[in-house]
Structures are given as C-alpha cells and as structure tokens.
Amino acid sequence: MISPLEIAANAVMAVYIVLSGRNNIHSWWLGVLGCVMFAVLFYSVNLYADVALQLFFIVTCVIGWLQWLRGAGGAPLPIAHTGARALGWMAAISLLATAAYGLMLQAYTNAYAPFIDSAVLMFSVVAQLLLMGRRIETWPVWLLVNTVSVPLYASRGLYLTAVLYAGYWINALASWFFWRRQMRAQLA
C-alpha cells in the first residue's frame, strides 16, 4: 500500500528533479523539503543508507543553492565539465566506500540489500556533488543511480518511488541533453 508520505515525498521530489534538470535555482529548496520526507520514509522500510543519503542531500541542497546563486566571484555558476582524472578518483572512492559501508550495514544492521543500497548512496553523493558544481557529468551518474534504484525500491514495495525513479532516469537523460545545449550557448 502506498502511504501518504510516499505520495507527498514523490510529488515534491518530482518537481525538484525537473527543475534541477532545467537548471532552475528554485529546485534546491524543494530538494530540502523532499529529502526530509524521504528520510522518514526510508527509515520506515529499513533502507538506512538511503536515510543517510537524504541527510546528506539536505545539507548539499542548501550548499548547492548558495553556490548556484553566488558562483565564482559573485557571478552565477556556469555549467562546466569535470576532468577525467577527477571523475576517476570519484569513482574509485565511491566503489571503496560502497564496499566498506555495505560490509558495515551487513554486519551491524538488518539492512535490506546492504551493498546495492550502499552503491545508491555513494554514487548519489558523487552525482549530487557534480550537480552542486553545475557539472554536466552529473547526469550520466544520475542515470546509473536511477538504474539501480528502480529495482531496489520496487523490491521493498515502494512502487510509487520506483516509478518516480524510472521517471528520474528519463529526466536525467533529457537534462543531460538540455545542459549540453545550455553549455554550448554560454560558450558562444
């Protein structure tokens, strides 16, 4: 059964994700609200890594909001690329952290799918950091996260959330193309 909290969290986060994909500053405050609701929801179904992720998102939504407003030197932050070297170390650290956190959850909690849940956590952190910096590579990382999240949430009976994450997957793909166009326009 879908709870009112799941419906509300998904509605708020759907707007947040669409606005983020459209490079809209108002996405950030909606992200804070939606993440609070999702933290409560994920706690209720023993997805503890996702609870930790929502707490991280609350903090990073506030920071991202400020970064997008102020940027570098007071000008709005432009869309930019992340270097291959930086992406490589982010991926390596995420894989190591996924293994470590997954082992901890497996050993000390009743977590469901501790390694998959941990992978969603760690790669979402990378995607969010890239989003905060308005890096175009945020969107392929979100594609990866959403690909893993859909079956995870469905397996816990969070069907509405699974459907929303399938929508996030589509939005990430569309946003990747949208940001690429905006990036080319800002360079012209």
Per residue in 74-132, pLDDT tens?
Answer: 777 889 999 999 999 999 999 999 999 999 999 999 988 999 989 998 999 999 999 99
The residue count for the chain: 188
Among 66-70, 73-77, 148-152, the minimum mean pLDDT is found in 73-77
Say if residues 9 and 37 touch (Cβ distance below 8 Å): yes
Determine whether 94 is exposed, middle or buried from the number of CB atoms within 10 Å of its CB (0-12, 13-18, 19+): buried
Partners of residue 135 on adjacent β-strands: 80
Q: How far apart are CA 156 and CA 171, in angstroms?
A: 23
Q: If you ran DSSP here, which 8-state letter would residue 113 be given?
A: S
Per residue in 2-31, pLDDT tens?
Answer: 899 999 998 999 899 899 889 898 999 999
Per residue in 162-177, pLDDT tens?
Answer: 998 999 999 999 999 9
Q: How far apart are CA 90 and CA 138, in angstroms?
A: 12
pLDDT for res 11: 93
pLDDT for res 72: 65
**Scanning the structure block, which residue is given the tokens 């941990």?**
118
pTM: 0.85
